[in-house]
């Protein structure tokens, strides 16, 4: 195995370890460097640990596009490791093959994976198992292996069972906790929803391109030391080695809102040529983290919008991509098109999804991210798929306007939005 290749083994279930051992493969995998690091979401969510310092240094100095090959189901940018730009999904045997080769830039059909002890080239076809070999190993796996692994699932972990649990019908939130905090979604909730109003004088927090995924919006992996979330955890006495991941801290809105749009590969056209969750606060012109800018705008009473291209919110249906957007103070998202679940999630959190009319885009209407936007037509009642007018106020005093479609697709959507989200809608029904 090339020394610059980092390997890990993270099965989805404990029984996988047993049938790898039964098949005689576990020892061979460990010899190659594929040691067990845990079960479930580990490597695929950035929890396999940092890269060796010399590898990290080489990537930075050489501006290398390091790659990950994994047999999971998520290949978002920067998710496996913040220093790894490209992520490819493959079957487990192909993961091992690419690790042996030390590259993804290889034709596995003709180029050798490496050399044998005698110097002879070894190709994939020579080590790939036959169907007969696979079937013989599968025959060794029986139901008893699953029963033995999970017979004591409720009492087989004394460390977990020893955690003290408070009794009562309400959860006891602790201010000192960095993992679980009482969410703020019901703060100031009135018995009746307020009247829907136009969005006036909003600033563009981020101007994004096509195919922005929910992992760009709300990353699940590594928390960078110098990020807003990292600074928050340090202020609470948490060392970097104990940061864990955004996915593990999703019960703490104070971490998650700081992580919104904090993906290290996010490209915000307001800050061209820069990757990461940064923007420019206007009109001051100061560059800062998106969270810090949102807090500045909040203190100034300025509404916010996000503008994007096609397929906004693609990828996994991550609830925090909508929750974090709301908590940043974003009132509306204006995109060329949406991934269907994320559009629904925005509505469910009370964030207005708007869509450019066919053939129009941020570029077509002349948006650079430095404008103020006013959305007219929301006050006085909403209808599914109605059109609104978006007024543009540019820094030089010039203006303009264009039409956009309200992506509240049904009367239910309209009701959720009027109430500020699905949670508020349900609670108001319960109160009545």
Span 326-361, pLDDT tens digits: 999 999 999 999 999 999 999 999 999 999 999 999
Q: How far apart are CA 333 and CA 304, in angstroms?
A: 9
Q: What is the per-residue pLDDT for 209? A: 96
pLDDT of 369 over the 90 cut: yes
Has residue 83 got a pLDDT over 90?
no
Of residues 140 and 210, more confidence is placed in 210
Look up residue 403 and give its DSSP letter: E
Q: Which two tokens stand for residue 263?
A: 């993906």
Q: How far apart are CA 206 and CA 267, in angstroms?
A: 9
- pLDDT score of 420 more than 90: yes
Please give the Cα distance from 243 to 228 (Å, whole number).
13
pLDDT tier at 84, thresholds 50, 70, 90? confident
311: left (phi over 0), alpha (psi -120 to 50) or beta: left
- At 291, is the pLDDT very low, low, confident or very high (cuts 50, 70, 90)? very high
Which of 20-24, 73-77, 276-280 is predicted with the least confidence, judged by mean pLDDT?
73-77
Residue range 178-205: mean pLDDT, rounded: 94
The predicted structure's pLDDT at residue 381: 82
**Average pLDDT value for residue range 28-37:** 92
The backbone region for 94, taken as left when phi is positive above 0, alpha when psi lies in -120 to 50, beta otherwise, is alpha
Q: What is the mean pLDDT of residues 135-157?
A: 86
For the ranges 152-161, 390-399, 401-410, the lowest mean pLDDT is seen at 152-161
Q: What is the pLDDT of residue 46?
A: 77
- The pLDDT-based confidence of 33 (bands split at 50, 70, 90) is very high
Please tell me the predicted confidence (pLDDT) of residue 22. 86
Question: Going along 194-252, which residue ranges are E strands?
Answer: 199-207
- Please state the separation of Cα 293 from the chain's center in Å: 20
Question: Mean pLDDT score of the chain, rounded to an integer?
Answer: 93
* Whether pLDDT at 78 is above 80: no
- Three-state DSSP class for 199? strand
What would the pLDDT profile of 11-20 be if each residue is shown by its tens digit? 988 899 988 9
**Nearest-CA neighbor of 74 among 95, 45, 48?**
45
CA distance 248 to 245: 5
pLDDT for residue 266 is more than 90: yes
- What are the phi and psi torsion angles at 396 (to 5°)? -85, 5
Percent of the chain with pLDDT over 90: 72
Q: What is the pTM of this model?
A: 0.86
């Amino acid at each position: 195995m090339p020394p610059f290749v980092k390997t890990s083994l993270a099965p989805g279930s404990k029984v996988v370890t047993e049938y790898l051992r039964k098949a005689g493969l576990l020892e061979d995998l460990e010899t190659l460097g594929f040691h067990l690091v845990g079960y479930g979401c580990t490597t695929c969510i950035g929890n396999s640990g940092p890269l060796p310092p010399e590898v990290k240094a080489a990537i930075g100095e050489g501006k290398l596009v390091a790659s990950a090959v994994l047999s999971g189901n998520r290949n978002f940018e920067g998710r496996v490791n913040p220093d790894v730009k490209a992520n490819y999904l493959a079957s487990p045997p192909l993961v091992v093959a690419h690790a042996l080769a030390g590259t993804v830039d290889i034709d596995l059909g003709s180029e050798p994976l490496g050399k044998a002890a005698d110097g002879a080239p070894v190709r994939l076809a020579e080590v790939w198992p036959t169907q007969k070999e696979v079937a013989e190993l599968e025959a060794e796996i029986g139901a008893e292996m699953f029963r033995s692994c999970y017979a004591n699932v409720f009492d087989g972990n004394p460390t977990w069972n020893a955690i003290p649990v408070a009794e009562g019908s309400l959860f006891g939130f602790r201010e000192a906790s960095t993992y679980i905090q009482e969410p703020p979604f019901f703060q100031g909730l009135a018995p009746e929803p307020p009247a829907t109003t136009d969005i006036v004088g909003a600033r563009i927090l981020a101007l994004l391109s096509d195919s922005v995924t929910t992992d760009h919006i709300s990353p699940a992996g590594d928390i960078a030391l110098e990020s807003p979330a990292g600074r928050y955890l340090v202020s609470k006495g948490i060392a970097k080695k104990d940061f864990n991941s955004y996915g593990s801290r999703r019960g703490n809105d104070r971490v998650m809102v700081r992580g919104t749009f904090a993906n290290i590969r996010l490209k915000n056209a307001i800050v061209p040529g820069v990757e990461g969750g940064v923007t420019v606060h206007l009109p001051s012109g100061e560059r800062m983290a998106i969270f810090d800018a949102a807090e500045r705008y909040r203190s100034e009473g300025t509404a916010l919008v996000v503008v994007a291209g096609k397929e906004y919110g693609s990828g996994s249906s991550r609830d925090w991509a909508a929750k974090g957007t709301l908590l940043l103070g974003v009132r509306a998202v204006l995109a060329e098109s949406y991934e269907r679940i994320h559009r629904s999630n925005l509505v469910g959190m009370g964030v207005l999804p708007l869509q450019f009319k066919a053939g129009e885009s941020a570029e077509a209407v002349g948006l650079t991210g430095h404008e103020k936007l006013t959305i007219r037509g929301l006050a006085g009642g909403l209808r599914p798929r109605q059109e609104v007018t978006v007024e543009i106020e540019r820094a030089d005093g010039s203006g303009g306007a264009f039409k956009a479609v309200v992506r509240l697709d049904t009367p239910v959507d309209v009701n959720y939005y009027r109430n500020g989200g699905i949670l508020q809608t349900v609670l108001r029904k319960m109160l009545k």
